[in-house]
Structure 1
Amino acid sequence: MILITGAAGNLGSAIINSLLKKVPANQLAAFVRSEQKAEQLKKLGLNIRIGDYNDIASLDNAMKGIEKVLLISGLSMERLKEHTNVVDAAKRAGVKQIVYTGVTMKDAAVSPLKVLMESHFQTENYIKASGIPYTFLRNTLYAEVIPFYIGDQALNTGIHYPAGAGRVPYVYRPDLADATAVVLTNKGHENKTYQLTGDQLYSFTDVAGMLSEVSGKHIAYTDVDPVAFEKHMKEIGVPEIGIMISTGFAAAIKQGDFEVVTADLEKLLGRKPTPVKQYLKAHYVG
């Protein structure tokens, strides 16, 4: 039995879809926060475990009969504590393997995103110290986050973002889901770390170029001043947390924090990753 945490989220849902192509639904358990979030998963035939990362009793109940745990990293600023709760529960239950979704980047300790990203690597260290066999899936940034940075009206407004010439090897979320399903359903991945990236680095100038190609319009990228960008976001009513995340990622991308390319994803998939241009065309042009 495989337990998927964060099963109702975007990545969790995609991974479940990939897993269902490989194993029967009754071999999968979904850990979700409420019955409401479980409705669709229940229809698919999955075992449902209700609870959250801070509810120790619910975690202990969720681990019953579980051989492998997919720990999809949480979004809370307290996620290190939440993750350690999951690892401790897995250890008490005698779980045989933990697969953890972290992040691929050069050095979180010196990144503008340190406060957000360092806990990924602290979680990995805690899992290693637990003695449970592990697999670390360090995911780079999703192609699906590009619209968050540049807006859905980029074909009309152009791209205005303070990321300089920084580049990212974006990946399509369903590709990550397929690779995760491979790791969860096959042997030989224990105590290994995979850096799951696309096969090419893209700057926002490159993104603008791809959007120009798929739309037939000239889309320009402007590397705006970070202070002016933050001021504009406040003026249009973006919440403080949204501003912090957007400006933090811009600074980290500009610094080159995500400029890491490996063949790990391609090897797990047995094929080339989905081209970023294909995603952009589907999102912006249809």
Structure 2
Amino acid sequence: MTIAVTGATGQLGRLVIARLKETLPASGIVALVRSPAKAADLGVEAREADYGNPETLARALAGVDTLLLISSNEIGQRAAQHRNVVNAAKAAGVGRIVYTSLLHADRSPLSLAEEHRATEADIKASGIPFTILRNGWYTENHTGSVGAALAGGAFIGSAGDGRISSATRADYADAAVAVLTGTGHEGKTYELAGDEAVTLADLAAEISRQSGKDIPYRNLPEADYAAILAGFGLPEAFAKGIASWDVDASRGALFDDGRQLSALIGRPTTPLSAAVAAALPR
């Protein structure tokens, strides 16, 4: 069996490749990347695969039995890019697609959801056996700001008291590997989220506890938060997106208590305390 992973040099893709190598011979794993030279350290075969270039996809998917389609990071272009991959997979005779979607994509208010809904529909329409992994929020989406919070004396956001059932990339990578290497997952859609639902105030309190500094959570109006993010150098559209996702979280969009993720990986998801410890500057 040959398993191919798109976006293999990305943060999630690298974790998936590493975990697959713990279970399978490297000869059965293929990294699909825009630049094979950047994948040399992965220790598996690397093939050029550009989401926007169908010709590269056709070549890259030759002989692939199972494909992990990790969603593109180019918001606004993902539906078309993913469609290229699905069409190439069908033409190449790929036996199964596993796709990383968004938590509750079918009803999520997040602006990110529409492209995931489109891709899920394309996969189902292709006739290729599939499994949908609806990944919840990555804990790193917020712990990535730990350094800025320590420097600024506060953790800022617009999520209010919204409970966020996040999990680490490592947790989601383990779920992907469990599905890629296991059986009984065909046709299933998994709502994947962390066991622990926390607020951004909880996160700020944990940062304070571990750092020994008083780091309060400061809740901001959406427009103010977006403006601050843009001031940090983020593109305006992306800054507005982040702020809007926080507001959606304040209304419960990132909460899930089904514990399908921990059931799938056979262990509890990574606790907030461990994620904060990993993110603190050393």
The answer to whether the superposition gives a TM-score over 0.5 is yes
SS of structure 1 residue aligned to 2:267: coil
- The correspondence of residues 130-145 of structure 1 with structure 2, limited to 5 A, is 130-145=126-141
- The correspondence of residues 145-224 of structure 1 with structure 2, limited to 5 A, is 145-148=141-144, 150-156=145-151, 157-224=153-220
Q: Which position in structure 1 is the counterpart of 2:30?
A: 29
Q: How many Å separate the matches in 1 of 2:83 and 2:154?
A: 43
CA 1:199–1:235 in structure 2 vs 1: closer, same or farther (change >3 Å)? closer
Q: How many Å separate the matches in 1 of 2:71 and 2:274?
A: 27
CA 1:273–1:90 in structure 2 vs 1: closer, same or farther (change >3 Å)? same
Shift in Å at residue 216 of structure 1? Answer: 2.7
Counterpart contact for 2:57–2:85, Cα < 8 Å:
yes
SS of structure 1 residue aligned to 2:23: coil
Q: Which position in structure 2 is the counterpart of 1:65?
A: 63
Q: Which position in structure 2 is the counterpart of 1:90?
A: 89
Shift in Å at residue 227 of structure 1? Answer: 2.6
Deviations along 1:12-54, one digit per CA (max 9) or x if unpaired, are 001001101100111011111013322222xx1x122113012
Q: How many Å separate the matches in 2 of 1:133 and 1:105?
A: 20
Counterpart contact for 1:162–1:224, Cα < 8 Å:
yes
Q: How many Å separate the matches in 2 of 1:244 and 1:52?
A: 28
What is the TM-score of this pair, normalised by structure 2? 0.93
Query: How many pairs align?
Result: 279
Q: How many Å separate the matches in 1 of 2:234 and 2:276?
A: 24
SS of structure 2 residue aligned to 1:20: helix
Structure 2 residue runs of 5 or longer lacking an equivalent are none
Which of 116, 119, 130 matches 2:115?
A: 119
Q: How many Å separate the matches in 2 of 1:82 and 1:170?
A: 26
Amino acid at match of 1:18: R
Shift in Å at residue 217 of structure 1? Answer: 2.8
Deviations along 1:212-264, one digit per CA (max 9) or x if unpaired, are 22223332111122232233334444321331232122222122211112221
Amino acid at match of 1:266: S
Amino acid at match of 1:248: S
Structure 1 residue runs of 5 or longer lacking an equivalent are none
Shift in Å at residue 268 of structure 1? Answer: 1.5
% identical equivalent positions:
38
Counterpart contact for 2:143–2:275, Cα < 8 Å:
no
Which of 47, 53, 56 matches 1:55?
A: 53
Counterpart contact for 2:30–2:46, Cα < 8 Å:
yes
